[in-house]
Amino acid sequence: MRRRLIALLSFLLVFSVVLAGCSEKEAKVTKSRLEVIKERGKVVGGVNADIPGFGYVESDGSYSGMDVDITKAIAAAVFGDATAVEFRPLSAEERFIAVQTGEVDVLARNTTLTTSRDASVGLAFAPVTFYDGQGMIVRKDSGIESLEDLEGARISVESGTTTELNLADQMRKLGISYEPVVFDSQDAAVAAYEQGSVDAYTTDRSALVSRRTTLSVPDDHVILSEVISKEPLAPSVKDGDSKWQGVVTWTVYTLIQAEEYGITQDNVDTFLDSEDPEIRRFLGVEGDLGEQLGLPKDFAVQVIKAVGNYGEVYNRHLGPDTIFDLERGLNSLWTEGGLHYSPPFR
Amino acid sequence: MKKHSTLMTTPFWRDKRVIPLLLQAIFAMIVILIGTIFLLNAVESMRQIGISFGYDFLSKMAQFDIGDKIVSFSSTDTYGKAFFVGILNTIRVAFIGIIFATILGFIVGVARLSNNWLARSVASVYVEVFRNTPLLVQIFIWFYAVFLSFPTIEKSLNSFGLFFFSNRGTVIPWFELTSSSFVWFLFLIAGLILSVIVWKIKLNQQVETGQNKYPFFWSIGSFISSLAIAWLITFELPLLLSIPEIVGRGFVGGYTIGPGFCALLVALVMYTASYIAEIVRGGILAVSKGQVEAAKALGLKSSTILRLIILPQAIRIIIPPLTSQYLNLIKNSSLAAAVAYPEIFGVGITILSQTGKSVEVISIVILVYLSMSLLTSLLMNIFNKYSQLVER
B164 with B301, same domain: the answer is yes
Q: Does A176 touch chain B (CB under 8 A)?
A: no
Instruction: Give yes or no on whether A33-129+234-336 and A132-231 have one common fold.
Output: yes
Give residue A27's pLDDT: 42
Question: If you average pLDDT over residues A127-151, what whole number do you get?
Answer: 90
Nearest to B21 among A3, A169, A196 (CB): A3
User: Pairing relation of β-strands A85-89 and A43-47?
Assistant: parallel
Q: Using a CB-CB distance cutoff of 8 angstroms, which residues of chain B are in contact with residue A101?
A: 45
Judge whether residue A6 has pLDDT over 60.
no
Q: What is the CATH number of the domain that holds B142?
A: 1.10.3720.10
pLDDT of residue A26: 47
Closest residue, chain B, to A189 (C-alpha): B340
What single-letter amino acid sits at A58? Answer: E
Answer whether B21 sits within 8 Å of A6, measured CB to CB: yes
A-facing residues of B in 126-165 (CB < 8 A) are: 144, 147-149, 152-153
What is the rounded distance in angstroms from the CA atom of residue A138 to the CA atom of residue A215? 12
- Give chain B positions within 8 Å (CB) of A92: 353
Please tell me chain A's helix, strand, coil percentages from 3-state DSSP, rounded to the nearest 5: 45, 20, 35
Domain that holds residue B195: 181-234
Q: Which amino acid is at B148?
A: L
Across the interface, whether the CB atoms of A181 and B340 are under 8 A apart is answered yes
Q: Give the distance from CA A64 to its chain's centroid.
A: 13
For residue A10, the model assigns a pLDDT of: 57
- pLDDT interval class at B40 (50, 70, 90): confident
Tally Cβ neighbours within 10 Å of residue A339: 13
> With an 8 Å Cβ cutoff, is A109 touching chain B?
no
Give the confidence band of A11 by pLDDT, cuts at 50, 70, 90.
Answer: low
ipTM above 0.85 for this complex: no
Residues 134-173 of A with CB under 8 A from B: 151-154, 156, 159-161, 164-165, 167-169, 171-172
Contact between residue A100 and residue A122 where contact means Cβ atoms under 8 Å apart: yes
- Interface residue A187 vs chain B (CB under 8 A): no
What strand order describes the sheet that includes A106-108? A85-89, A43-47, A106-108, A236-238, A123-125
Residue A278's pLDDT is what? 92
Say if residue B162 is in the same domain as residue B207.
no
User: Which residues have a Cβ under 8 Å from the Cβ of A114 and sit 6 or more positions away?
Assistant: A162
Mean pLDDT of chain A: 88
| pLDDT interval class at A84 (50, 70, 90) | very high
pLDDT digits (tens, 9 = 90+) for B327-380: 999 999 999 888 889 999 989 988 888 888 888 899 999 999 999 999 999 999
**Measured distance CA(A49)–CA(B130) in Å, rounded:** 31
> CA nearest A182: which of B268, B330, B89, B137?
B89
Over residues B206-223, the pLDDT tens digits come to 888 888 878 888 888 888
Q: What is the pLDDT of residue A29?
A: 58
Q: Is the pLDDT confidence value at A244 over 70?
A: yes
Would you say B194 and B222 are in contact if contact means Cβ atoms under 8 Å apart?
yes
The answer to whether the beta carbons of residues A123 and A239 sit under 8 Å apart is yes
pLDDT at A28 over 60: no
Residues 6+ apart with CB under 8 A from A76: A82, A299, A302, A303, A305, A306, A307
- Domain assignment present for B54: no
* pLDDT given at position B272: 96
C-alpha B51/C-alpha B361 separation (Å) is 14
pLDDT at A18 over 60: no
Question: Does residue A286 sit in helix, strand or coil?
Answer: coil
Q: Regarding predicted confidence, which is higher, A19 or A282?
A: A282
| Any B CB within 8 A of A19 CB | no
Q: Does B163 share its domain with B215?
A: no
Regarding whether B222 and B257 lie in a shared domain, the answer is: no
Tell me the mean pLDDT in the region B14-38: 89
Total number of domains in chain B? 3
> Residue ranges per domain, chain A?
33-129+234-336, 132-231
* CB-CB neighbours of A49 under 10 Å: 19
As a whole number, the mean pLDDT across chain B is 87
In the predicted model, what is the mean pLDDT of residues B233-252?
Answer: 75
Q: What is the mean pLDDT of residues A317-329?
A: 88
Q: A239 and A122 in contact (C-beta within 8 Å)? A: yes
B215 versus A40: the higher-pLDDT residue is A40
pLDDT tens by residue, A88-116: 999 888 888 899 888 999 999 989 999 98
Contacts of A73 (CB under 8 A, 6+ apart): A82, A251, A252, A254, A255, A303, A306, A307, A313
Q: What is the predicted pLDDT for the residue at A153?
A: 87
* pLDDT tier for residue A52 given thresholds of 50, 70 and 90: confident
Hey, is the C-beta of B49 within 8 angstroms of any chain A C-beta?
yes
Is B64 part of a structural domain of the chain?
no
Pick the CATH number of A132-231 from 3.40.190.10, 3.40.50.12500, 2.40.50.140, 3.40.50.720: 3.40.190.10
pLDDT in tens, B109-145: 999 998 899 999 999 999 999 999 999 999 999 998 8
Asked, for residue B56, whether it belongs to a domain, the answer is no
Cα angle A254-A257-A259, degrees, rounded to a multiple of 5: 110
Residue B13: what pLDDT? 74
The DSSP secondary structure of B92-111, one letter per residue, reads HHHHHHHHHHHHHHHHHHHH
pLDDT at A309 over 90: yes
Of the candidates A11, A197, A238, which has its C-beta nearest B49's C-beta? A238
Q: In a mutagenesis test of the B interface, which of A8, A10, A12, A238 is the best target, namely the one with the most B β-carbons within 10 Å? A: A10
Q: What residues contact A117, with CB distance under 8 A and at least 6 apart?
A: A96, A111, A123, A125, A236, B356
User: A33-129+234-336, what's its fold?
Assistant: D-Maltodextrin-Binding Protein; domain 2 (3.40.190)
Q: Which amino acid is at B5?
A: S
Q: What is the residue type of B367?
A: L
| In a domain? residue B69 | no
Confidence of residue A24 (pLDDT cuts 50, 70, 90): very low
* B379 contacts: CB under 8 Å, gap ≥ 6: none
Q: Does residue B99 fall inside a structural domain?
A: yes
Is the pLDDT assigned to residue A25 strictly greater than 50?
Answer: no
Residues B196 and B256 in one domain: no
Please report the number of interchain residue pairs, chain A to chain B, with beta-carbon separation below 8 angstroms: 161
Residue B95's pLDDT band (boundaries 50, 70, 90)? Answer: very high
Q: Look at strands A200-204 and A154-158 and give their pairing.
A: parallel
